[in-house]
């Protein structure tokens, strides 16, 4: 066996007996380093000088009894085990010495026992030392953990058998208690509204089976003063000293719920009028159609067209037009019931859904509204203004198959009303499209758009324009959004906002999506050949989410061109993601395998479906940002909106930035990416100088704010 150094303090008045101890240990494989003492002074000096592994003492040393030796060991810095080695000892004396602290007694005629006894005591000493170190470490950990819990801002308590046993200051403050003693006699359930008791009990049972803990969301908690507030609760089952306990962490989600409600309002309402928006109204209309089929319930759809609003905007300015629209909305609210759903369906179009209303009554209401609005006179800046209004009423019953069919019937009813000359000039970005000065039947107009789209698909009548997406933090990476335009008569360009709704209804949107994606990848191929590394943001319609052939086409085109999927960011409207969350998730997952990234467009809030998707960018309209900022306490809402948008490492892009004032506001809110005509209108060339300017310094900021840009 390997020799081990052993420090032995021997208490014996016989040098020969001391040498016997040393020889015995040497034969047992130890390298003994020993010192013999025979009085208390010598022993105390030896204990103070060196750390000893073992003390071996004789019982009959004249000036040093075993009990005195034991007492000296107890007072020493190091306390080695003490073994008695003697020639004879009575059973009674042996028992007394063992009770006093002697670890064992070895007879000198049985020296072979000495080494095993020492080995055992050394092992016990090591175990005792490790135990003490473990106890000290455990005490330190407990102290650190308690300090962590007590200092944490997260409300945390511990319970046993449903009763509070401890709680940190954050927990006491959250529930309005000053002292833990107030809680010790209160069950945990008493701090939760009775309506949620069953859910909370179920979560406790699940926590016993789940080592990771379980979360109970959106429970209603009660403070000491009786006030209620929403919370999330995380419950973890733990074992302490062989007993079952629960750790309960409580998060106050009042602020989050307020923000969610505000964002939900923004998602469902028009920011100018406060009426419901098109997305919300279409959902409500679809539910009304389903209810009519399921329960034979009836309702009425009112569709209103403010026929001169665009002319008023052009003649007197959008500010006056907006105020006029607000007054019309107020008049409509006064004419309709609280249960009726009133929405701004488009720029100059409003719609109302009248549930549980017979067709005859709906027609009467439509006639009254038409009369009221047509006779309404408004004064603005000394000018007297009126606005013709066309109103149609469509019964929602079992004969209507869908919300889209109901709207088609409403359009047809408008067309059957007395036609009038229409001479508006519709401005699409920088290119105006002049509509013919003749009475146009809406169904004929839509048919013409469908024919134009079909012709453009066949004759390569689509042109791709590109608008830069600029990083406000000085990153010179080149990012462009691809904007599809359809040419008319070989010259005029029509925006996607004009032709895509009709294309979706005519089932042509998928063909347009594939064309735009293919053209974008081919552009990336050409740019790559010239040494440029560009990222293109490509808009997709809602139809793309269910187009199972589109991912295959993208894969084949990427493979044929050698373009990497990471150069593509596909944009999909938030409304489409919310409406088809499962289809969206599957579609995004299939293209992520190719390295492609994704953006949600037209964000008004973070709906559950949007947050559940794997998104890299969120695009918010600049008009929404400024509408919020102009409201009371709106700036706080904007900050929260951007903070929520950035969850999951998503980047925020604010689009439609048209002036330096907007840019200054966005810069102050820490927005990373912006897009709009202020930087560059959509162009057929990708020639924006991303590295030309930066706003990461005061000097550069001033250059971005120049009035001559």
β-pair type (383-385, 378-380): antiparallel
Q: Are the beta carbons of 353 and 281 closer than 8 angstroms?
A: yes
Q: How far apart are CA 691 and CA 676, in angstroms?
A: 17
pLDDT digits (tens, 9 = 90+) for 205-241: 888 777 667 777 789 999 999 999 999 998 988 877 6
Where are the domain boundaries for CATH 3.20.20.450 in the chain? 450-704
pLDDT digits (tens, 9 = 90+) for 233-265: 989 888 776 788 888 889 888 887 877 777 788
pLDDT band per the 50, 70, 90 thresholds, residue 443: very low
pLDDT digits (tens, 9 = 90+) for 27-86: 988 999 999 999 999 999 999 998 899 999 999 888 899 999 999 999 998 889 999 999
Domain 152-252 homologous superfamily, CATH: PAS domain (3.30.450.20)
Q: Is 454 exposed, middle or buried (0-12, 13-18, 19+ CB in 10 A)?
A: middle
Q: How far apart are CA 29 and CA 5, in angstroms?
A: 9
Q: From residue 87, how far is each of 12, 59, 106, 117, 386 by CA, in Å?
A: 12, 9, 8, 17, 127
Q: What is the pLDDT of residue 523?
A: 94
Q: Is the domain defined by 284-417 classed in CATH 3.30.70.270?
A: yes
424-451 core/surface letters (b: 16 or more CB in 10 A; e: else)? beeeeeeeeeeeeeeebeeeeebeebbe
Where are the domain boundaries for CATH 3.30.450.20 in the chain? 152-252
Q: From residue 262, how far is each of 621, 623, 638 by CA, in Å?
A: 17, 17, 11
The CATH T-level fold of domain 4-132 is: Rossmann fold (3.40.50)
Where are the domain boundaries for CATH 3.30.70.270 in the chain? 284-417
pLDDT greater than 60 at residue 385? yes
pLDDT greater than 70 at residue 103? yes
Average model confidence (pLDDT) across the chain: 82
Q: Are the beta carbons of 58 and 85 closer than 8 angstroms?
A: yes
The predicted model gives 534-550 an average pLDDT of 91
Q: Are the beta carbons of 466 and 683 closer than 8 angstroms?
A: yes
The CATH T-level fold of domain 450-704 is: TIM Barrel (3.20.20)
> Where are the extended beta strands (E) located within 504-583?
534-539, 568-573
Q: Say what the alpha-carbon torsion angle 156, 158, 162, 163 is, to the nearest 10 degrees.
A: -100
Q: What is the pLDDT of residue 637?
A: 60
Where are the domain boundaries for CATH 3.40.50.2300 in the chain? 4-132
Q: How far apart are CA 569 and CA 618, in angstroms?
A: 11
């Amino acid at each position: 066996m390997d020799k081990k150094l052993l420090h032995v303090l021997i208490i014996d008045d016989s040098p020969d007996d001391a040498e016997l101890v040393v020889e015995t240990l040497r034969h047992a494989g130890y390298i003994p380093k020993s010192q013999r003492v025979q009085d208390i002074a010598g022993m105390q000096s030896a204990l103070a000088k060196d750390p000893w592994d073992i003390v071996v003492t004789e019982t009959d040393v004249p000036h040093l009894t075993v009990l005195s030796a034991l007492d000296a060991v107890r007072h020493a810095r190091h306390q080695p085990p003490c073994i008695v080695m003697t020639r004879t000892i009575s059973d009674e004396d042996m028992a007394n010495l063992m009770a006093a602290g002697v670890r064992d007694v070895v007879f000198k005629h049985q020296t072979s026992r000495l080494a095993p006894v020492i080995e055992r005591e050394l092992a016990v000493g090591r175990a005792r030392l490790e135990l003490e170190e473990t106890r000290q470490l455990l005490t330190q950990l407990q102290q650190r953990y308690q300090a962590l819990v007590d200092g944490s801002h997260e409300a945390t308590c511990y319970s046993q058998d449903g009763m509070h046993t401890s709680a940190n200051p954050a927990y006491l403050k959250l529930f309005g208690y000053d002292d833990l003693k107030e809680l010790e006699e209160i069950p945990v359930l008493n701090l939760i509204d009775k309506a949620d008791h069953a859910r909370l009990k179920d979560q406790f049972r699940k926590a016993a089976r789940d080592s990771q803990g379980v979360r109970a969301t959106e429970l209603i908690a009660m403070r000491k003063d009786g006030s209620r507030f929403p919370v999330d609760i995380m419950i973890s089952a733990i074992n302490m000293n062989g007993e079952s306990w629960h750790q309960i962490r409580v998060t106050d989600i009042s602020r989050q719920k307020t923000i969610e409600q505000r964002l939900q309002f923004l998602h469902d309402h028009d920011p100018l009028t406060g009426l419901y928006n098109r997305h919300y109204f279409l959902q409500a209309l679809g539910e009304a159609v389903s209810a009519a089929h399921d329960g034979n319930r009836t309702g009425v759809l009112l569709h209103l067209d403010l026929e001169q609003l665009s002319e008023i905007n052009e003649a007197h300015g959008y500010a006056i037009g907006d105020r006029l629209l607000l007054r019309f909305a107020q008049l409509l609210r006064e004419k309709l019931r609280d249960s009726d759903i009133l929405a701004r369906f488009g720029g100059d179009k409003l719609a109302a859904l009248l549930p549980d209303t017979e067709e005859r009554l709906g027609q009467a209401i439509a006639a009254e509204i038409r009369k009221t609005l047509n006779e309404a006179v408004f004064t603005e800046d000394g000018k007297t203004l009126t606005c013709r209004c066309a109103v149609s009423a469509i019964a929602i019953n079992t004969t209507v198959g869908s919300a889209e069919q109901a709207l088609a019937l409403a359009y047809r009813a408008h067309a059957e009303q007395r036609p009038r000359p229409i001479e508006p000039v519709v401005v699409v970005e920088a290119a105006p499209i002049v509509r013919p000065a003749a009475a146009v039947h809406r169904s004929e107009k839509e048919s013409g758009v469908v024919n134009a789209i079909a012709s453009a698909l066949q004759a390569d009548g689509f042109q791709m324009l590109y608008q830069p997406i600029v990083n406000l933090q000085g990153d010179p990476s080149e990012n462009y959004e691809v904007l599809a335009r359809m040419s008319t008569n070989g010259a005029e360009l029509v925006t996607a906002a004009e032709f895509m709704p009709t294309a979706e209804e005519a089932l042509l949107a998928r063909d347009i999506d594939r064309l735009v994606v293919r053209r974008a990848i081919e552009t990336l191929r050409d740019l790559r050949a010239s040494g440029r590394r560009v990222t293109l943001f490509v808009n997709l319609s809602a139809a793309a989410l269910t187009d199972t052939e589109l991912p295959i086409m993208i894969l084949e085109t990427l493979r044929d061109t050698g373009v990497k999927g990471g150069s593509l960011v596909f944009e999909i409207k938030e409304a489409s993601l919310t409406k088809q969350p499962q289809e969206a998730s599957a579609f995004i997952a299939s293209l992520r395998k190719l390295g492609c990234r994704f953006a949600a467009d037209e964000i008004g809030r973070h709906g559950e479906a949007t947050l559940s998707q794997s998104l890299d960018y969120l695009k918010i309209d600049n008009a929404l940002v400024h509408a919020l900022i102009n409201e009371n306490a709106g700036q706080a809402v904007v900050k929260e909106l951007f903070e929520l948008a950035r969850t999951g490492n998503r980047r925020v892009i604010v689009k439609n930035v048209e002036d330096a004032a907007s840019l200054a506001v966005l810069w102050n809110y820490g927005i990373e990416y912006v897009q709009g005509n202020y930087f560059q209108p959509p162009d057929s060339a990708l020639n924006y100088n991303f590295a030309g300017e930066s706003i990461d310094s005061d000097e550069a900021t001033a250059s971005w704010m120049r009035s001559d840009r």
